[in-house]
Amino acid sequence: MKTAEKLASGWLLILGFMFLTISASSVMERNNANKPGNARIDEDGELVFASPTYLADLSNKAVQGLVFGLPCSILGGWMTLSLYRQGKHEKKALQQQTDERLQSLFYRMVQENHGRITLLSFAMQSQLPPHNAKDYLDDKAKEFNANFKISEEGAVSYHFEV
């Protein structure tokens, strides 16, 4: 459904831009035709001066471009903005859900291991990449004033007061 909405908003923006471009070109052509001494060349290569019906056609074309272009552009822009906001909201909800899952896992591991957590065990349980798991544990260690212990093999373990 989201793909269809993206396509629809894109097409509406393209159509709106196209109609507004037609309208702007008609206005410019009408302004050039209104200047004294300006003539245009038709399909046969003959010199043609602007007639009142030609100017009226250009004016109608400009109005029609605005009538179709503005609603398409506004609707396409509105749809694009709402899709952007919806995506931002979903991303925020997913981040909050992930944060809650990690916090729950962290508290459970602290409780089960009597305050001792290793980087490897947390990374395995949380399924986070090692550098993300380390950053998370470092933040929690600062927050709760935990102690660090480094084993002879170089493994870091965090000790939280329970």
The 10s digit of each residue's pLDDT in 72-125 is 999 999 999 999 999 999 999 999 999 999 999 999 999 999 999 998 899 999
pLDDT of residue 103: 94
Give pTM, 2 decimals.
Answer: 0.62
The answer to whether residues 52 and 24 belong to one domain is: yes
The answer to whether residues 154 and 88 belong to one domain is: no
State in Å, rounded, how far the first CA of the chain is from the last one: 48
**Is residue 34 very low, low, confident or very high in pLDDT (cuts 50, 70, 90)?**
confident
Q: Is residue 75 in a domain?
A: yes
What is the residue range of 124's domain? 113-162
The answer to whether residues 37 and 76 belong to one domain is: yes
Q: Is residue 99 in a domain?
A: no
The answer to whether residues 85 and 29 belong to one domain is: yes
- Cα–Cα dist 73/80, whole Å: 10
Neighbours of 100 (CB within 10 A): 10
The answer to whether residues 71 and 128 belong to one domain is: no
